């Protein structure tokens, strides 16, 4: 027990928590935007791969780091547009379309990588974002500016959703598209906009892995982080503030298991520790999200004039 207390009082532990949480915060906000507008976006895993690849490639080709982030966002937005066309325009199954996007975006990224680098033995590297040493806030000063962006986006998106007409429109089309249409809100446009914006955030989430957490692109490096975000949105009951909390909680358990696993007196097989963040997140989900009010029109395609 004292070991764990020691651990928690260690500042580098909290630095790790925030660093692990960053892509999850960005990704969860992205999923949240889509789902608030009533569209499930299972394309996230693939969009994160595409964002990680495109952002990194841009920087490798000589673009500044922030331009790389923009490229990642645009790549994400492009796949979002495709998802919107399939799920809003054609009103197809959101599950199938999302999984299709994941496979397409993943495969295209790998293909693009191999075409660009047919003969490398180790992946080429870039110079990633540097920590914000100038910031006089402990823990945050060891993070890169992408983490700051993620943290700032939480209140911004919260404000957008709950305090602006645009946010109201997004929430309306996710709750009751018929009523929204009756008020003169174009369900198709609002949903499309939300999906595109959300997918852009997913792209940025992916780019964090290649532009900040690491300096090269690897196949399979997103490694399920996208799926975690989909679950975290449920945990967060579709609220940005709770999404931040959920991402931090998951990262907390992940950072903790890495340290517990390494202790010499670890009594359990290492797999149990690796499982810890997932198991505890499911537990939290059960306890916290049981009463969560999900967007009423989630996963229901809206066809104009249909009852």
| Nearer CB in complex with other proteins: 69/78 | 69
| Nearer CB in complex with other proteins: 67/258 | 258
Taking CB under 8 A as the criterion, the residue among 63, 67, 104, 123 binding other proteins is: 123
Q: Alpha-carbon distance 153 to 51, whole Å?
A: 18
Taking CB under 8 A as the criterion, the residue among 159, 162, 189, 219 binding other proteins is: 219
Taking CB under 8 A as the criterion, the residue among 136, 265, 287, 290 binding other proteins is: 265
Output the six-digit token pair for 6.
Answer: 């020691």
Looking at 29-37, 147-155, 232-240, 254-262, which segment touches other proteins (CB under 8 A)?
A: 254-262
Residue 164 touches other proteins, criterion: CB under 8 A:
no
Tally Cβ neighbours within 10 Å of residue 24: 26
* Rounded (10°) CA dihedral 166, 167, 173, 175: -160
Q: Alpha-carbon distance 63 to 45, whole Å?
A: 25
Residue 268 touches other proteins, criterion: CB under 8 A:
no
Backbone region of residue 174 per phi and psi (left: phi > 0; alpha: psi in -120 to 50; beta: other values): alpha
Backbone torsions φ then ψ of 291, nearest 5 degrees: -95, 10
For helices 44-60 and 225-235, the axis angle rounded to 10 degrees is 130
Q: Alpha-carbon distance 296 to 289, whole Å?
A: 15
Residue 270 touches other proteins, criterion: CB under 8 A:
yes
Size of the site for other proteins (CB under 8 A): 36
Site string for other proteins, 1-20 (x = CB under 8 A): ---------x-xx--x--xx
Residue 300 touches other proteins, criterion: CB under 8 A:
no
Taking CB under 8 A as the criterion, the residue among 4, 96, 152, 263 binding other proteins is: 263
Residue 166 · residue 41 · CB < 8 Å: no
Residues ≥6 apart with Cβ < 8 Å to 257: 273, 274, 276, 277
Taking CB under 8 A as the criterion, the residue among 145, 160, 259, 285 binding other proteins is: 259
Taking CB under 8 A as the criterion, the residue among 127, 136, 220, 291 binding other proteins is: 220
**Where does residue 47 rank: exposed (0-12), middle (13-18), buried (19+ CB within 10 A)?**
buried
Residue 112 touches other proteins, criterion: CB under 8 A:
no
Site string for other proteins, 177-216 (x = CB under 8 A): --------------------------------x---xxxx
Interface positions with other proteins (CB under 8 A): 10, 12-13, 16, 19-20, 110, 114, 120-123, 125, 209, 213-216, 218-221, 223, 254-255, 258-259, 261-266, 270-271, 274
């Amino acid at each position: 027990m004292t070991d764990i207390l020691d651990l928690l009082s260690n500042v580098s532990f909290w630095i790790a928590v925030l660093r692990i949480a960053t892509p999850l915060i960005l990704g969860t906000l992205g999923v949240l935007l889509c789902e608030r507008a009533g569209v499930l976006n299972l394309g996230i895993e693939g969009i994160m791969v595409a964002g990680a690849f495109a952002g990194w490639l841009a920087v490798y080709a000589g673009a500044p780091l922030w331009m790389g982030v923009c490229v990642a966002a645009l790549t994400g937005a492009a796949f979002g547009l495709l998802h919107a066309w399939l799920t809003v325009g054609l009103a197809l199954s959101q599950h199938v379309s999302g999984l299709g996007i994941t496979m397409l975006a993943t495969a295209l990224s790998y293909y693009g990588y191999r075409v660009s680098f047919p003969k490398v033995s180790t992946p080429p590297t870039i110079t990633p974002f540097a920590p914000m040493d100038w910031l006089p806030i402990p823990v945050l000063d060891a993070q890169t500016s992408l983490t700051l962006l993620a943290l700032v986006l939480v209140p911004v998106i919260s404000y957008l959703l709950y305090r602006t007409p645009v946010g109201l429109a997004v929430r309306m089309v996710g709750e009751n598209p018929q009523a929204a249409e009756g008020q003169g809100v174009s369900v198709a446009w609002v949903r499309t906009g939300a999906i595109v914006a959300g997918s852009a955030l997913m792209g940025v989430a992916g780019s964090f892995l290649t532009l900040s957490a690491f300096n090269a692109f690897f196949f399979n490096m997103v490694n399920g982080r996208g799926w975690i975000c989909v679950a975290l949105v449920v945990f967060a009951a579709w609220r940005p503030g709770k999404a931040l909390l959920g991402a931090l909680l998951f990262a907390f358990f992940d950072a903790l298991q890495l340290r517990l696993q390494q202790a010499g007196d670890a009594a359990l097989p290492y797999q149990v520790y690796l499982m810890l963040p997932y198991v505890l997140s499911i537990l939290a989900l059960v306890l916290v999200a049981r009463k969560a009010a999900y967007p009423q029109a989630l996963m229901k395609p809206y066809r104009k004039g249909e009852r």
